[in-house]
Each structure stands twice: as structure tokens, then as C-alpha cells.
Amino acid sequence: LQNIRIMEAGHPIPDANSFAATEAAINMVSGLSPEDKVLFLISGGGSALFEKPLIPEKDLENLTKQLLASGADIIEINTIRKRLSAVKGGKFAKLCEPAQVISVVLSDIIGDPLDMIASGPAYPDSSTSQQAINIIRKYGLTVSEEIMELLKTDPPSQLNNVRTKITGSVTQLCTAAEQTCRELGYEPTVLTASLACQAREAGSFLASIAQYYSSSEKSLAFIAGGETVVQLKGKGKGGRNQELALSAADGISALNNVAVFSIGSDGTDGPTDAAGGYVDTDTKRLLAEKGINIFETLENNDAYHALQACDGLIITGPTGTNVNDISVLLIKR
């Protein structure tokens, strides 16, 4: 595209490119007039890609790693992030004043909370400093006195120069999956577009649904959209979608013609090249033949290598969108 400058940056941990790109954006909106308009496109991943930290880079990196490993959900993580940033929590919109901001949002968070998507750089904050401090205590995070002082501050709670429109969400993703399953001969049921729990629990739950409907004479599809979390205990490789899929493998191993897959809509699952994972009724047996124990693998957070061993990785490459994850249980008759 002409006149468009693309700057690749770090995710899920901000890097020097994130800071440089953000500084370039700030420079672009400096000195605007009330007649100027800023078209601001926001998607998931923006919390890492768009950042001007108020704390040293090493402190930000350390805290981000702690949050990602703790099992905190994205709302909790972004409640912390926006207080440590010069652009999150509506602060970028303030930098654009007196110009008008037209914000177009691709939502990757359950319920489409506009102040949390990409940590809400152009939307008033609804969280409180006390909530931020409680999150630090809840997960036993180690932070500096400087961070604790910043957490006591609140971003702007009101903005008068922003118009916002959501252009895509996980609800639309579930609707599209429902239509595709129907076209493929399945009777689909959307369980939720608000899946929010441990990935292992979600996988086990889908397996229990498969067990309940194992005597069905019709081909069935059960769809769940949302974003699960993983508590890192091991040193393996994987992502929440891979862990979810592998967690279902044991529960469906005694059934016939059942499969579970889970993918990230952006084509990326955790720090891997896979979008997610696929398992079916043969997965447990195939892994056992290779000496791989599902429980031990999950304890080590090493779903990637287990799924790789049974050809269960889903690799799509970047999809160009990001509207949460989708998990599907298929019962074929």
C-alpha cells in the first residue's frame, strides 16, 4: 500500500521495534488541529506491538513474563499494562487531541471490552488502581516500588474525541464455524463464545460432551469460542490451543469417529509456528506407541512435541486476523 509504513515488532513481549513504531505513531499525531482526523486501526496483539513504557524495558519484560506464566487472563494482564504505559488506557487518544480519532477495532477479547482490546489506547479506562494492585497480590508477582506507584494511578476515564466501531469478533467467528459445519453435514451447536478457563479443563470438558453424545446417530459438531489460559509449570513448548486439544485426547480415546481441534484465529498459538492442535480417537494410542504419556506431557507444558509426534499440529501461517480462538468437537456418523 502506498504511503503505509510497516514496522514489525515483538509479541507477546514488547521489544525495541515496538517502542520505535509507537514513537513514530506519536510523532505523526503531534501538533494536529481540531479539523484533523486520525484513523486508528486496533487489533489483538496491540498491547505488545504498540507500547511506550513508563518503566525500564527490562522491568516491563520481566513483569510481562510473570503475567503470562501466572495464568492471569487477558483482562487482568491489560489492567496492569495500561498503567505502565504512555499510550495505553486512552492515553494515545489524549495525545491526538484536539484531533478527532476514528477507531476501528478487531476484537480478540470475550465480550468486546473496548478498554481492554490492545489495552484500550483510544478508549476510556473502566478498571481501577485497586483492581490492578489486587492482581499483583493475587498471583504473587514480584514488582519494583516504581511499578507499584504507577499501579496506583488511573488512566483517563473520559474521552471526547473518539468514535469507535467493532469490525470483527469471536461471536462472528463462531457463527462462521457453525455455518461451515452445517455445510459439511454436521448438526452444529455453539456452546459459547465466552470460553474462559484453563485450557486443560476446556479440553476435558469437550471430551465429556463427546462421551455423552457417543451413541448419537447423527453427525454432531460442538463449537466454543473464547480464550483459555495456561499455567506454566514445565519447560516444554506449546500454546493454549495445543494444550486444549491434547487434554481432550484421553477422554475420547475409547470412542468412535470423534475428533477435537482448537486453533488461534491469527494462525499463532503461543511461541510456536502452529495455530493449534488436532486429536482424534487414535491419538492416545499413537502417542503411547512412541512412549509419550499425555498427563506427563501436559504437566511439562509440552503439547507441541506430542502433537508433532502424531501429526496433530495445525499450521496455517499468519491469517491476517485475530478474533480469539475456536475449539470444535466433531462426532462423525
Identify whether the C-beta of residue 251 lies closer than 8 Å to the C-beta of residue 208. Answer: yes
How confident is the prediction for the chain on average, in pLDDT?
96
The stretch 76-91 carries a mean pLDDT of: 97
Rounded average pLDDT over 143-162:
96
Is pTM beyond 0.85 here?
A: no
What CATH number is given for 16-168 in this structure?
Answer: 3.40.50.10180
**Predicted confidence band of residue 48 (pLDDT cuts 50, 70, 90):** very high
Query: What are the sequence ranges of the domains in the chain?
Result: 16-168, 170-331
Domain 170-331 has CATH 3.40.1480.10: yes
Q: Which residue has the higher pLDDT, 114 or 320?
A: 114
Per-residue pLDDT at 320: 87
Spatial distance between the Cα atoms of 322 and 44, rounded to a whole number of angstroms: 6
129 CB-side CA count, 13 A: 11
Q: For the chain, where are the E strands, in sequence order?
A: 37-43, 100-106, 162-168, 187-195, 220-226, 258-264, 276-280, 313-314, 325-331
Radius of gyration of the chain (CA): 21
Residue 215 sits at φ, ψ, to 5 deg, of -90, 5
The per-residue DSSP string of 132-191 comes to: HHHHHHHTT----HHHHHHHTS---S--SSEEEEEEE-HHHHHHHHHHHHHHTT-EEEEE
Q: For strand 258-264 and strand 220-226, is the pairing parallel, antiparallel, or unpaired?
A: unpaired
| pLDDT tens for each residue of 213-245 | 999 999 999 999 999 999 899 999 999 999 999
Percent of the chain predicted with pLDDT > 90? 93
